[in-house]
Structure 1
Amino acid sequence: MVKLYDKGAYLVNGTELIEEHSQVNEEIKAKTGLDAISKEPAKKNTMAYQILNNHNTSGNDSKLKIKFDKLTSHDITFVGIIQTARASGLEKFPVPYVLTNCHNSLCAVGGTINEDDHMFGLSCAKKYGGVFVPPHQAVIHQYAREMLASCGSMILGSDSHTRYGALGTMAIGEGGPELVKQLLNRTYDINMPEVIAVYLTGTPRKGVGPQDVALAIIGAVFANGYVNNKVMEFVGDGIKNLSVDYRIGIDVMTTETTCLSSIWATDSAVKEFYETHHRAADYKELKPGQAAYYDGVVYVDLSEIKPMIAMPFHPSNVYTIDELNANLYDILTEVEKKALVSLDNNKVKYSLKDKIRNGKLYVDQGTIAGCAGGGFENICDAADILNGKYIGADEFSLSVYPASQPVFMELVKNGAVTKLMASGATIRTAFCGPCFGAGDVPSNNGFSIRHTTRNFPNREGSKITNGQIASVALMDARSIAATAANKGYLTSAENIDVTFSKPKYFFDSTIYDNRVYNGIGKADSSVEIKFGPGIVDWPAMSELSDDIILKVVSEIHDPVTTTDELIPSGETSSYRSNPLGLAEFTLSRKDPAYVGRAKEVQKAEKARLAGEDVVAVNMELKEVYDKIAAKFSFDANKTQIGSTIYAVKPGDGSAREQAASCQKVLGGFANIAKEYATKRYRSNLINWGMLPFLYKDAELPFQNGDYIFIKDIKMAIIDKSTDIKAYVVTKDMKEFSLQLGELTDDEREIILKGCLINYYRG
């Protein structure tokens, strides 16, 4: 089904893989007529290398400084980005910047807050020359596919699922500060990433959809980090057997592998996509060179993939639906055991086995939505499966969210909406809410199956600390429809007798022409930005001091900590434009005491900055100061006091910068981790002036509540020290070493200045 190569490999003539071996050059020469080719030149024959090199401004193909062609954000992220850019000197958007409104679309949530953000975005599009897509018109990634993507280009988005590789666009999802850099004509700085070939062969079985293929790949590569921070390059003879919608459905889920980006070979089907969307000039053929070297290969036989399900609480927790149904009690018992780690071991009662009735697994809810599920082909196939069937009048419900108004309108015209509504399904407008807990939240102990992107704990409505738990399994739209046709009994679409009608898609751009504000090239500095009361400036942040004291205020030993656990989504999203208000929710679903602990530490730092008696504010610090002074010469009045958290592997999931910035707003100056789950979370820490420490030993020298002293931290950053000595003050100054990992010169300067805003202010 999915095979991972142990070594690198050459792709010859775009069709044949040759794994690295001692006589590989002779074999390549025999097949191509090329003279001997070495690995490094062959790496430059990948599509990924060519696109990255074309966008690199450094002149060094190892140390890249990327300028993107276009930017895109949504209404949970664009306010903070523009506010940061304004504070750093923004005058106008230097490249096309699209502001979509698909996350905080429910404007009744939080009073006027969400609609105030939308009005802020529209006024900024007018002032700085951007594009504003009103609520319910399109989810961010569907609009980008329809209107922004072009072959060979690069797009940066402030959403982790920024992936348009199937359309020949290398797209990257990052935290907001990386977009700020582009808005200020700076660059995205990375090492040239490794490139992994995803070789597709064969033809999918009837009833198997793109989510099934994606989940099979994620299950094979996530835990071992096979593609972590690398580019996935899709090649192979199987691509021609997939529609463009199908390719898009696989591609968007590459985010869940933790890869950096993706790119696909393009062909006549992609050419037709651009012609359908009235943008024929944006197509060009992309393919690897005659002999291209890849650092690894994910070999996928599409014909062997069966309908899949990703059980709670991660997209990599995959089984075939048939396997699950055949081994219900064993697999559900295993899932429940795994869940205890994320659910803090019995803080809530969690069971899936009680969903078994008469030997069958019944689910409570189905949802087909967003950038992964809301595509035209997914919904048409689901409608065909449900045609003439009924979802029933019991607990099970089904909601369908077309990804854009043009898609919705075409589904109305071709009758798919009628079929779905007649079955009992409800049709909604374009909205990302079901993916992050702001729409179709299941009931307590509810089990929802979704063609969306994620199924993390603490996400789709779960509030563990309130005793509330809901769980989501990821499935393809086709199997969700098959399950709905059986009134909630978990069913593989392979087991449904259906004829897929496969109607042709016709794109009508008049909806966008008449409703979307396009201000590209029309910046008007006289426009007044509209601020609602919920839009609050970032608080002042101070430069890093010579020495630093950190108090550990949270200790998390889960194998992976998601951004949803660091700062919850759902109803908290309405506070994303208010740094102080949002910070109150930090770690609230993982460690509810964190905010109080962090604020106590911050009181001391605020007293220090005000020239007040720090010890009077925090009596613990008298003993801390005494122990440090007994070993080192230091000035307590010039030493920052901040908080830190420890987590094994923090930052999986969303690109949201607030996972880091909320900690900084509460006085957090560092994270300590065994490793960081994604580049984007580590970048968010750095851009908010936080130290991204690494400590890789299994046994920690400190624990929650301990104070850590780091002497000469400022000099260590300036000198690019690899090992940094630290001392656990509350354990008799026990010495240990921390690492910072590789940092660019700009990143070092951002940390020294205290945050990106300070860095740009100079």
Structure 2
Amino acid sequence: MIKLDSNGTFVFKGQTILDAPQVSSPDALNLFLTNQGLEPMALESEADLKQLKKNTIAYGILQAHNTSDNTQQLQIKFDSMASHDITYVGIVQTAKASGLTSFPMPYVLTNCHNSLCAVGGTINEDDHVFGLSAAKKYGGIYVPAHQAVIHQYMREMMAGCGKMILGSDSHTRYGALGTMAIGEGGPELVKQLLSKTYDISMPEIIAVYLEGEVSPGVGPQDVALALIGKVFTSGFVKNKVLEFIGPGIEKLTIDFRNGIDVMTTETTCLSSIWMTDDKVKDYYAAHHRTESYAALTPGDIAYYDGLVHIDLNKIVPMIALPFHPSNVYTLDELIANPYDILGKVEKESKAQLENPNVHFKLTDKIIDGKIMVNQGVIAGCAGGTFENVYLASEILKQKSIGNDYFKLSVYPSSQPVFMDLIHHGAITNLMAAGAEVKTAFCGPCFGAGDVPANNGLSIRHTTRNFPSREGSKPGSGQIASVALMDARSIAATSANGGILTSATAMRFANEAPKYTFNEEVYNHRVYFGFGKANPDETLKYGPNIADWPEMPSLKPHLLLKMASVINDPVTTTDELIPSGETSSYRSNPLKLAEFTLSRKDPGYVNRAKAAHELAKLVISANTLDELDPENELYTIFKSLCPDKASCDNLLQNTLFGSTIFAVKPGDGSAREQAASCQKVLGGLANIVNDYATKRYRSNLINWGMLPFTFPEGESYAFKRDDYVFIKDVKKGILNANEQFDAVVLSKSNSGHFEQHAITLEIKGLTDDERAILLAGCLINYNAPAQTTIGSLS
């Protein structure tokens, strides 16, 4: 079904994978080209062969947007950006504090996450009012609630072949439309608003070679889940660019391609790009943007750093069971072996949840040997496309979802999509079958809509199924779970009254009619303000919208108190800061911070706050004598220096705050709040074995938190309330050191602090990133008195 090759791969015109003898040497490659009637290349050595990476689509787009003279250290400026109503308030606030006068590029502010306005009174709608006022003041594009989910709007109105788009949502992916798009935390968008750059090393480029044709009943989510299941655990494509090539592409519709593409985020890749063809050309023509099309194809011979080979003929309906999109099985094997598979997943999930108050079961969904689910959802940027919803309606035509516990919700991804589904009768078919059809909304993807009943099992064509992401509250004894599936099999299950069913078991028309895009609704509702900034416009603040608190710059030394220890193999951003109703508070940094790690470590906030209060004592004390000898910090500082004078000096030159240890945090959302919430509670660093994604590590840096790791193969068994002291950390950052000597002070059973020497690392910081860490955060760095490495020495 899917094969991986980590060796370098050469592909001819994006269609033919060359075998080893054909590329064993420059002479062999030139012989192949000659036999194809092409001119040979000026290649002098085998090393020159890898330079053919320049012939990939991704390399060309990256270099076209690179503003540096270095082809390996990129400084990217994007063509446009997008944010939704969870993130844009904080981004605008941060940029405003840094001197923003107008948006220098098209910046789309969508309202598809906090659309329901059901939590906290007026605060969600207050954010929307703020967003419109910001679009008027700075020259933005404002898309009101219920008009479109963020990524569908960007596909319809902003994508373009050869362009690059940055979004403050992790599923910012428009590769199937010839656009390289990247999802990052809000501070990276702030940099672009301030005409700065997105700085990365040239990423590896992995070919995703598609061949064959999918069978009826197989949808884009099936292909995506198969891909995620194959590459996630090994990190095969982590922080790399996926370039989709091969003869299988032409057999896929644009909606199908988009459905695969948006889910590449779950592989942990950096971005994606696809070859374009006449179907892409027709897509832009249908959306009245013919100028946005360009033919994108690799050069005659392109070198890729690795290969994912997908035989579409062999893809079958898939399901990702709790609690991760990579926990993948075929539907057929699950249906055939429900007790074995659900029993295994149930056992693994209970260990992951680590909550004695939660009663989690999956095997109780097996009734008479069949799996009975409680809810189906087809929604968002992955599920709510025209083709997905239309084909679901075909499966459900003249059928019933039944009047028992099972229910189905369908959210078309935009009003234009909704309008054409109505035109073709799809909405009538769905509603007649008993489905609930709703407007464009991302809520089911992150727990702000269609929360299942306690211990319920929901099957969803959405993006993620992390623990509690569907909206349950384990702290209150609740738990529910989501399994990811394709819309076709969700519809088949719905037609079977909630009994898990593969779409390949159903007979239905497997082709959607031609989609007709009608932009009239956008013309009537969207505020198109790019290039029309009005400095006299007043930003409209609701009572929940608050400024960021002041954040200290880095001092010569760092003392950290371990406020949480998380030993799970991977920690998602949903566990770091929960999604769902908490998102409504994201315009108030201190209020939102109250939810930090609330589902993973409910005591973290109080421990971080206690450390923050101790930090105030350290700041106010000039000498060790001013600290209470009964205070633990007195003992800590005294144990770190030989005499009173050096202790006083150490106290005055040490920044104290909290930290956490996690094995591999940051999988999932791009939300910056996974880092900023720790920072506003006094967090100064994370200590981890590895970071799951680049975007989470970038968020830490932009909020002035030092992203420590261990040298490869090393770690340390921290205990909660351990202290970690890093001497001369500021000098190390200034000098671009990558290793830091540290001391762990751990209280023994006798009450004394034992010292253990460890080594920590921070690798690959750019000059700007070092300056941000020294300044204490991006806001400080961009303060009117511009901070640079030199000025902080």
- TM-score using structure 1 length: 0.98
Q: Please give the alpha-carbon distance, in whole angstroms, between the structure 2 residues aligned to 1:147 and 1:756.
A: 31
1:581 match: 591
Counterpart CA distance in 2 for 1:562 and 1:149 is 29
Question: Any residues of structure 2 matched to 1:151-550 within 5 Å, and which?
Answer: 151-344=161-354, 346-550=356-560
Equivalent residue, structure 1, for 2:762: 740
Counterpart of 1:757?
A: 779
Residue 17 (structure 2) pairs with residue 17 (structure 1): yes
**How far apart are the structure 1 equivalents of 2:652 and 2:685?**
20
Select 1:602's aligned residue among 586, 600, 612: 612
Q: Among the aligned pairs, what percent are the same residue?
A: 62
Structure 1 gap ranges (5+): none
Q: 2:682 — aligned with what?
A: 667
- Map of 2:641 onto structure 1: 629
Residue of structure 1 in register with 2:632 after alignment: 620
Corresponding residue for 1:653? 668
Q: Quote the Cα distance in structure 2 between the aligned partners of 1:271 and 1:28.
A: 33
> What are the superposed Cα offsets for residues 499-556 of structure 1, whole Å, 9 maximum, x if unpaired?
2352110000110011100001100000000000000000000100101110001000
Partners of 1:15 and 1:52 lie apart in 2 by: 22
Aligned to 2:789: none
Counterpart of 2:705 (choices 676, 686, 690) is: 690
Map of 2:724 onto structure 1: 708
- Partner Cα separation in structure 2 for residue 41 and residue 621 of structure 1: 56
The letter of the residue matching 1:674 is N
Contact 2:220–2:257 (CA under 8 A) maintained in structure 1: yes
CA distance in structure 2 between the aligned counterparts of 1:184 and 1:9, rounded to whole angstroms: 39
Q: Cα gap change, 1:427/1:621 in structure 2, threshold over 3 Å: closer, same or farther?
A: same
Change (3 A) 1:487 1:24: farther
* Structure 1 contact 309–473 (Cα < 8 Å) conserved: yes
**Distance (whole Å) between structure 2 residues aligned to residue 5 and residue 20 of structure 1:** 13
Shift, 1:281, TM fit: 0.6
Q: Distance in 2 between matches of 1:601 and 1:547?
A: 17
Aligned to 2:653: 638
Q: Quote the Cα distance in structure 1 between the aligned partners of 2:565 and 2:343.
A: 28
Q: Secondary structure at the match of 1:286?
A: coil
Q: 1:421 to 1:597 in 2, by over 3 A?
A: same
Q: 1:76 aligned to 2:116? A: no
Shift of the 24–342 alpha-carbon distance from structure 1 to 2, 3 Å rule, reads farther
What are the within-5 Å matches in structure 2 for residues 110-149 of structure 1?
A: 110-149=120-159
Contact 1:15 1:236 in 2 (8 A): yes
**1:715–1:472 distance in 2 versus 1, CA, 3 Å:** same
Read off the aligned partner of 2:290 and give its amino acid letter. A
User: What is the identity, as a one-letter code, of the residue corresponding to 2:709?
Assistant: L
Distance across 2 between alignment mates of 1:480 and 1:701: 44
| 1:108 CA displacement | 2.6
CA distance in structure 2 between the aligned counterparts of 1:463 and 1:112, rounded to whole angstroms: 23
Alpha carbons 1:706, 1:728 under 8 Å: kept: yes
What residue is the counterpart of 1:681 in the other structure?
696
Shift of 1:611: 4.7
In 1, distance between residues paired with 2:162 and 2:322?
Answer: 37
Closer/same/farther in 2, CA of residues 726 and 338 from structure 1, 3 Å limit: same
Question: Contact conserved, 1:608 with 1:614, CA < 8 A, in 2?
Answer: no
Give the aligned partner of residue 35 of structure 1. Answer: 41
Code of the residue aligned with 2:30 in structure 1: it is K
* 1:331-376 deviation line (CA, Å, top 9, x unaligned): 1111112212320164422111100011000100000000000000
Alpha-carbon distance in structure 1 between the residues aligned to 2:409 and 2:551: 44
Shift of 1:41: 2.3
The amino acid that maps onto 2:708 is F
SS in 2 for 1:350: coil
CA shift at 1:6, angstroms?
Answer: 3.4
User: What's the offset of the Cα at 1:575?
Assistant: 0.4
Q: Which amino acid aligns with 2:640?
A: I
**CA displacement 1:273-305 (0-9 Å, x = unmatched):** 000000001000000000000000000000100
Task: Note if contact 2:665-2:688 (Cα within 8 Å) is conserved in structure 1.
Answer: yes
Change (3 A) 1:127 1:445: same
Distance in 2 (CA, whole Å) between partners of 1:152 and 1:729 is: 53
Residue-by-residue CA offset, 1:605-660 (whole Å, 9 max, x unaligned): 12333458873498111111111123976421331110000000000000000000
Shift in CA distance, 611/624, structure 1 to aligned 2, threshold 3 Å: closer
Q: How far apart, in 2, do the equivalents of 1:698 and 1:743 lie?
A: 21
Structure 2 gap ranges (5+): 35-39, 747-752, 787-793
Shift in alpha-carbon separation, 1:380–1:27, aligned structure 2, 3 A: farther
8 A contact 1:153–1:168 mirrored in 2: yes
- d(CA) in 1 for partners of 2:184, 2:377: 27
Aligned partners of 2:718 and 2:582: how far apart in 1? 32
CA distance 1:614–1:378, change in 2 (3 Å): farther
Q: Which amino acid aligns with 1:748?
A: R
Give the distance between the partners of 1:512 and 1:475, measured in 2 at CA. 31
The answer to whether the Cα contact below 8 Å between 2:617 and 2:627 also exists between their aligned partners in 1 is no
1:733, distance to aligned residue in structure 2 (A): 2.3
Paired with 2:204 and 2:126, the residues of 1 have a C-alpha distance of: 42
The whole-number CA distance in structure 1 between the counterparts of 2:427 and 2:28 is 55
**Aligned counterparts of 1:62 and 1:658: Cα–Cα separation in 2:** 30
Asked if 2 retains the 8 angstrom alpha-carbon contact of 1:13 and 1:32, the reply is no
Cα distance in structure 1, aligned partners of 2:129 and 2:619: 37
Aligned residues of 1:601 and 1:643 also touching (Cα < 8 A)? yes
Taking the aligned partners of 2:339 and 2:84, their CA distance within structure 1 comes to 41
Is the Cα–Cα contact under 8 Å of residues 8 and 306 in structure 2 kept in the other structure?
yes
Local SS of the residue matching 1:676: coil
User: Matched residues in 1 for 2:33 and 2:479: separation?
Assistant: 58
- Structure 1 distance, partners of 2:778, 2:328, is 39
Q: Cα deviation per residue 1:149-205 (whole Å; 9 max; x = unaligned)?
A: 000000000000000000000000000000000000000000000000000000000
Question: For 1:526, what is the secondary structure of its paired residue?
Answer: coil
C-alpha distance in 2, partners of 1:732/1:109?
47
**Match for residue 37 of structure 2?**
none
Query: CA–CA distance in 2 between the matches of 1:223 and 1:663?
Result: 27
Task: Quote how far apart the aligned CAs of 1:720 are.
Answer: 1.4
Once residues 20 and 589 of structure 1 are traced to their aligned partners in structure 2, the CA distance between those partners, rounded to angstroms, is 51
Please provide the CA RMSD for this pair: 1.4
Give the partner amino acid of 2:63: N
